[in-house]
Amino acid sequence: MGLIIEIPDSVADAMRVPRPERAARVRIDLACALYAGEVLPLGKAADLADLDKFQFAVELGRRNIARHYDESCLAEDLADDHS
């Protein structure tokens, strides 16, 4: 079961993003924020954004969000590559 976040219509309607792009934009913005705050590792943040790791890394660069990479990230990447 996933986590569902409800955004009030009044907030969604105030977004300066075309209606068809809103859900994807919120997912990418949330994923970037959680990655920047070191709440999610890169692979999981990319999953949340519905992007592959390369596309997500490009998005991080576009937003000037520094990549943080340590041994636990390496272990996750290796595990992902073998599954």
Full-model pTM: 0.81
Which residue type is seen at 39? V
First to last CA, the chain: 21
pLDDT tens for 25-75 read 999 999 999 999 999 989 999 999 999 999 999 999 999 999 987 787 678
Domain count for the chain:
1
Q: Is residue 61 part of a domain?
A: yes
| CA-based nearest residue to 2, from 65, 48, 46 | 48
Q: Considering the domain boundaries, does residue 12 fall inside one? A: no
In a domain, 7, yes or no: no
Is 53 inside any structural domain? yes
Token pair belonging to 7:
């955004």
Rounded-to-integer distance, Cα 66 and Cα 4, Å: 28
Confidence at residue 83, expressed as pLDDT on a 0 to 100 scale: 63
- Spatial contact of 43 and 77, defined as CB atoms under 8 Å apart: yes
